[in-house]
Structure 1
Amino acid sequence: MKKRFVTTTVATAAIAATALATIATSGAQAAPSTSGAGSDRATAAVAAARAHGSSFGLDGDQGLSSRSVATDKDGTTHVRFDRTFKGLPVVGGDLVVHTDAAGGWKGVNAASNSVRVGSTTPTVAAATAAATAARAVDYTVSTSKPTLAVYAMSTPARLVWKTQVDGVGAHGEPAGTAVFVDARSGAVVDQWATEINDAGTGNSLYLGTVTVQTTASAGQWQMIDATRGNARTEDGNNGSTSSTTGTLFTDADNVWGSGTTSNRQSAAVDADFGVGATWDFYKNTFGRNGIKNDGKGARSLVHVGTNWVNASWSDTCFCMRYGDGDGVSYGPLVSLDVAGHEMTHGVTSATAGLAYRRESGGLNESTSDVMGTMVEFTANTAGDPGDYLIGERFSLKTPQKPLRWMDKPSTDGASADCWSKTVGSLDVHYSSGVGNHAFYLLSEGSGAKSLNGYSYNSPTCNGSTVAGIGHDAAAAIWYRALTTYWTSSTNYAGARAGMLSAAKDLYGATSTQYAATAAAWSAVNVN
């Protein structure tokens, strides 16, 4: 049988964690402090800063408010402060104070050493500043709200009306700018965008018309999402399936694609939206800030290969690759669940590191199917509502022929519904059926049901009847097991044990969720 996969490549090199703050004299990695210890360290940093304030212009008219505290393994502490002058916030007055384990002074990084102004009394009225700021932007203004501040981004410091101007851009996207109006002369001192990218209109292949986050640059828009770690979407130009870079998509009017494959931007819209939906799922559901939890967005390459019925993730290039399909059975593989699937390979690599072989490899693939499915459910789009099928949207057959079915994985003719001693010898995309089946049963239960236009009829391998707990709870248990209990060699028995530990942590050992987790794994012969 011809295999139709969603594949992954995993780099063996370690990914270094990002330090919250470091200084040149310390090579130790910084880590967040606990709230109580952080408060004590901030207090010590304030005392140290006061004692050495002359070196960076800190005097009795200025106040410090801690924004964050990070501590290295050797006890070196880095406290980031915002500064005030006679009670007014100082724009460009922020600083980082570095102290040793005993609270002793190690140095400071200050954005500005000159924050003093001669007077904090404005001669320009707030209403005048609001009107001036509104005229300084090129979009429809809804609100223009001035507050007094000290502007210290350049010398000398000035008293300004820091005016937040919000409104709507030419394509209906939210727009915002901080405009700094000199509170004594009325001149515009500076301004910058607070909505750092634009909401473009995307005409996708599978989702209809959607909003995509893009970045304005040099009179055009780039498919770079600054709100999600500068994730990029590029044209692979039908080059090698191992390509690591492509041509960044750009557009003159921020309206992308036509909803058809004749426009190369259309597939890019789906991929870009899928990246955003996956980022939002992990961020909003688990508090995870990007694939590696480091705030970094990934690169997506669409139109990779020729008639390639596949998609892949690579840790090496931190990128996703999407084929165009064969044009007969499958179209471009840029659906929501595949985007979620591919990015989840990166999450798995950064957490459990499930080895891509035998049962751990099947569990790796299953994890990507599980979370890709959750991306569909949480995005809740009209064009692709949540379901337990993988890749159904790019099927060109009637009726649809997905890549995989989670309720009964063997429907594809090759995947395993139930665990057996030989399941580890299957290709990992087929051994993933055991985990997919367990997740479906835990979410929805056994037997027949309909959901969002699809009919399911999930059997059990032991003849039991399983009641589901809903996909949200099932995914929460799965994610905690992945990030807390599973390791690189976890097999399906270990997956069950880890999820029982996770269910106990989240809901208690006597909970319905705990019992359902045990029942779902037993129902696929994992005991």
Structure 2
Amino acid sequence: MSPLYARHKRTSLAIATAVAAGALLSTGLSTAASAQTPADSGKASPLAAAPTALTDAARTTLIQKAEAGAATTAQHIGLGAKEKLVVKDVTKDVDGTVHTRYERTYAGLPVLGGDLVVHTSKSGTTEGVTKAYAKTLKVSSLKAQVTPAKAEKQALTAAKSLGSDKSAADGARKVIWAASGTPVLAYETIVGGFQDDGTPNQLHVITDAATGKKLYEYQGIETASTGTGKTLYSGTVSLTTNLSGSTYQLYDTTRGGHKTYNLAHGTSGTGTLFTDADNVWGTGAASSSSTDQTAAADAAYGAQETWDFYKNTFGRNGIKNNGVGAYSRVHYSSSYVNAFWDDSCFCMTYGDGSSNTHPLTSLDVAGHEMSHGVTANTAGLNYSGESGGLNEATSDIFGTGVEFYAANSSDVGDYLIGEKININGDGTPLRYMDKPSKDGASADYWSSSVGNKDVHYSSGVANHFFYLLSEGSGAKTINGVSYNSPTYSGTTVTGIGRDKALQIWYKALTTYFTSTTKYSGARTGTLSAAAALYGSGSTEYNAVAAAWTAVNVS
């Protein structure tokens, strides 16, 4: 799991977010430019390499076809005799190009860091392969020298240091570890529990089965009608609800069946579905009551805007792109100052903040957290080091996209993260995309040590890249917020507009990024995405290159 914010070892807070079980969140504008850039206005024809929406039946057919041809594909792309492919997902572009994402097995064992994407033209010709591990897999021995009990003990020790009180692992399996170094036989041990701030935790520990050395660890957290939501952060909004008999339910049947539940300050289970007699939800004011509907209205609104953002911007049909909605839980624990996405329950959870009167249910937090689900079900960026920073940045980028998409007058779009929830207590946001270091910890530029930072701070490099690609460098005002974005060498960067920048990042995430992508690979992936969408050598392609150079990624 990954929370919306991270903790400075029991001192200060800084928003984090959830991965597969984790927690929280134009053309160059001149000074005092208006809110929207020309690139963000008007309707353009679909780009040839843009994703096209697939019906459930069409997606199932493509997956079944890929599964039937997996053995032939494995041979065609040069995998070894012991390697097999397992289909994870399929996307299709407007021009008919199909991108099939696979997991890899070796001698029947799952390969962590072995994922890959095969790109196939409309005619069926393989146009390229993007691999997390580029070589043919060879493992020196498949015989473990270390017992599963020793691996479990190591995992329990690691989990205990993070606040877990578990005395036994929740699960363990043999795997091939290929995400770093030479591929080896390993154990993946999972220990559940809670972090010291109360966030549900699912720690994955990878142990070398030959030496007992810990190789890696990461957190993995876990009939329609129109109602009125009186939210705390977004004003009065319309909510899609369901009428059951004479009772309204906070149940959106039009968006994959999303439901909003009340945990009533509990920490487990699904909770109780919110119901109401008059279809007016909340009061617009904060309340410490465990039955308060205002937080639920914010959560339901955030879920529907996030769904619509992905659907209408990228043609993505839900977090897993399969038409199935997640569910949301509010009033988690007591005075819990965080929010998190958990891929294991496919659900979104919100704490009520300090004194149970500051729920973390703002639009960009909702978009941020649920975007962790999109990442988990596409590139699966490992939640550690540079790939973890890219994972966090992806959620900040799409959370920002959701906020701009909603065009809500009470929470206008900006390049600030968590500015509404006031976690810092002084009115400042959690993160700044134009100059990430303004939060006191995030990186503006890449360096060889950036991967050693907490992922919520190493994400600054990609956040800065996205801002520069969208809006350009220098001083400007957008939607009433002043920005002044610097560059590594003092060069000037001209933005291409947020709409195009979002398309490029989404294309890269779903088509070219893998679980182990680092910043150099993100540059390569986004350039590939820009070339596919707009052409190699286009203005957009050159802007991507310039924006990465401006944050010292080459």
Counterpart position of 1:292: 320
Partners of 2:546 and 2:59 in 1: CA distance = 48
Partners of 1:487 and 1:207 in 2: CA distance = 35
The change in CA–CA distance for 1:487 and 1:202 in structure 2 (over 3 A counts) is: same
Choose from 20, 24, 29 the match for 2:57.
Answer: 20
User: Which amino acid is 2:368 matched to?
Assistant: H
Counterpart position of 1:268: 296
Which deviations, in whole Å up to 9, do the C-alpha atoms of 1:93-152 show, x marking residues without a partner?
Answer: xxxxxxxxxxxxxxxxxxxxxxxxxxxxxxxxxxxxxxxxxxxxxxxxxxxxxxxxxxxx
Choose from 347, 365, 374 the match for 2:374.
Answer: 347
User: Which amino acid is 1:291 matched to?
Assistant: I
Partners of 1:281 and 1:304 in 2: CA distance = 26
C-alpha displacement of 1:218: 2.5
Partners of 1:22 and 1:393 in 2: CA distance = 38
User: Which amino acid is 2:271 matched to?
Assistant: G
Counterpart position of 1:53: none
Secondary structure of 1:216's match? strand
Partners of 1:429 and 1:491 in 2: CA distance = 15
Partners of 1:357 and 1:386 in 2: CA distance = 29
User: Which amino acid is 1:254 matched to?
Assistant: N
User: Which amino acid is 1:20 matched to?
Assistant: A
Structure 2: stretches of 5+ with no match in the other structure: 1-7, 23-53, 68-222
C-alpha displacement of 1:6: 2.7
Counterpart position of 2:16: 6
User: Which amino acid is 2:549 matched to?
Assistant: S
C-alpha displacement of 1:511: 1.2
**Structure 1 residue 282 and structure 2 residue 307: aligned?**
no
Secondary structure of 1:211's match? strand
Choose from 213, 217, 239 the match for 2:244.
Answer: 217
* Bigger-Rg structure (1/2): 1
The change in CA–CA distance for 1:431 and 1:398 in structure 2 (over 3 A counts) is: closer
The number of residue pairs the alignment matches comes to: 355
After TM superposition, the score normalised by the length of structure 2 is 0.61
Partners of 2:506 and 2:486 in 1: CA distance = 24
Matches within 5 A, 1:320-331: 320-327=348-355, 331=358
Secondary structure of 1:420's match? coil
**Structure 1 residue 238 and structure 2 residue 265: aligned?**
yes
The change in CA–CA distance for 1:484 and 1:413 in structure 2 (over 3 A counts) is: same
Contact 1:272 1:300 in 2 (8 A): yes
C-alpha displacement of 1:400: 2.1
Counterpart position of 1:371: 398
Which deviations, in whole Å up to 9, do the C-alpha atoms of 1:4-32 show, x marking residues without a partner?
Answer: 323214169xxxx9973999xx9x93789
Structure 1: stretches of 5+ with no match in the other structure: 33-195
Counterpart position of 1:435: 462
Quote the sequence identity (%).
60
Contact 1:19 1:30 in 2 (8 A): no
Which deviations, in whole Å up to 9, do the C-alpha atoms of 1:427-455 show, x marking residues without a partner?
Answer: 11111111101000101111111111211
Partners of 1:294 and 1:427 in 2: CA distance = 32
Matches within 5 A, 1:160-175: none
Choose from 409, 422, 428 the match for 2:436.
Answer: 409
Choose from 222, 228, 236 the match for 1:201.
Answer: 228
Secondary structure of 1:506's match? helix
User: Which amino acid is 1:228 matched to?
Assistant: R
Counterpart position of 2:282: 257
User: Which amino acid is 2:270 matched to?
Assistant: T
Counterpart position of 1:136: none
User: Which amino acid is 2:540 matched to?
Assistant: Q
User: Which amino acid is 1:210 matched to?
Assistant: V
Secondary structure of 1:411's match? helix
Secondary structure of 1:392's match? coil
Choose from 514, 517, 520 the match for 2:541.
Answer: 514
Partners of 2:346 and 2:369 in 1: CA distance = 11
C-alpha displacement of 1:308: 1.6
C-alpha displacement of 1:426: 0.7
User: Which amino acid is 1:251 matched to?
Assistant: D
C-alpha displacement of 1:491: 0.4
Partners of 1:430 and 1:218 in 2: CA distance = 49
Counterpart position of 1:462: 489
Partners of 1:430 and 1:470 in 2: CA distance = 25
Contact 2:19 2:376 in 1 (8 A): no
Matches within 5 A, 1:21-420: 29=64, 196-240=223-267, 243-262=268-287, 264-327=292-355, 331-395=358-422, 400-420=427-447
User: Which amino acid is 2:501 matched to?
Assistant: A
The change in CA–CA distance for 1:253 and 1:485 in structure 2 (over 3 A counts) is: same
Partners of 2:503 and 2:56 in 1: CA distance = 27
Secondary structure of 2:293's match? helix
Counterpart position of 2:170: none
C-alpha displacement of 1:238: 1.4
Secondary structure of 2:412's match? coil
The change in CA–CA distance for 1:466 and 1:22 in structure 2 (over 3 A counts) is: closer
C-alpha displacement of 1:299: 0.9
Contact 1:4 1:309 in 2 (8 A): no
Contact 1:244 1:317 in 2 (8 A): no
Contact 1:235 1:246 in 2 (8 A): yes
Partners of 1:489 and 1:220 in 2: CA distance = 48
User: Which amino acid is 2:64 matched to?
Assistant: Q
**Structure 1 residue 482 and structure 2 residue 519: aligned?**
no
After TM superposition, the score normalised by the length of structure 1 is 0.64
Contact 1:4 1:310 in 2 (8 A): no
Counterpart position of 1:447: 474
Secondary structure of 1:8's match? coil
Partners of 2:501 and 2:406 in 1: CA distance = 17
C-alpha displacement of 1:337: 0.5
C-alpha displacement of 1:405: 0.7
User: Which amino acid is 1:248 matched to?
Assistant: L
Counterpart position of 1:42: none
Contact 2:423 2:430 in 1 (8 A): no
User: Which amino acid is 1:198 matched to?
Assistant: S
C-alpha displacement of 1:303: 1.2
Secondary structure of 1:414's match? coil
C-alpha displacement of 1:197: 0.3
C-alpha displacement of 1:463: 1.5
